[in-house]
Structure 1
Amino acid sequence: MSKILIIEDEAAIRRVLVKILNEENGDYIVEEAEDGLSGIEKLKKDDYDLVLCDIKMPKMDGVEVLEAVKKIKPEIPFVMISGHGDLETAVNTMKMGAYDYISKPPDLNRLLNTVRNALDKKELVQENKRLKKKVSKHFEMIGESESINLVKEMIEKVATTDARVLITGPNGTGKELVAHWLHQKSDRSKKPMIEVNCAAIPSELIESELFGHVKGAFTSAVKDRAGKFEAANGGTIFLDEIGDMSLSAQAKVLRALQENKISRVGSDKDIKVDVRVIAATNKDLQKEIEKGKFREDLYHRLAVILIKVPALNDRREDIPLLIKHFAAKVASEQGTIEKEFTDNAIKLLQEYDWTGNIRELRNVVERLIILGNKEVSEADVKLFASK
Structure 2
Amino acid sequence: MLNGINIVLGVCGGIAAYKSVEIVSRLKKLDAEVNVIMTESAQKFVAPLTFRSISRNPVITDMFQEPVNYDIKHISLAQKADLLIVAPATANIIGKIANGIADDMLTTTVMATKAKVLIVPAMNVNMYENVLVKDNIEKLKRLGYMFMEPATGMLACGINAKGRMPEPEEIVDMAVDLTINKGDMGNIKILVTAGPTREAIDPVRYITNHSSGKMGYAIAKVAKKRGACVSLVTGPVNIERPENVNVFEATTADDMFQKVNELYESADIIIMAAAVADYKCSFVSNSKIKKSSNELTLTLVKNPDIAYSIGGKKGDRVLVGFAAETNDIYDNAKSKLSKKNMDMIVANDVTMEGAGFNHDTNIVSIILNSGEIIKLPIMTKEKVANEILNYAVRMYNDKRSSAFKD
- The alignment's TM-score, normalised by the length of structure 1, stands at 0.30
- The alignment's TM-score, normalised by the length of structure 2, stands at 0.29
Which structure: greater helix fraction? 1
If asked which structure has higher relative contact order (CA below 8 Å, sep 6+), I would say: 1
Which structure: greater strand fraction? 2
Q: Which has the larger radius of gyration?
A: 1
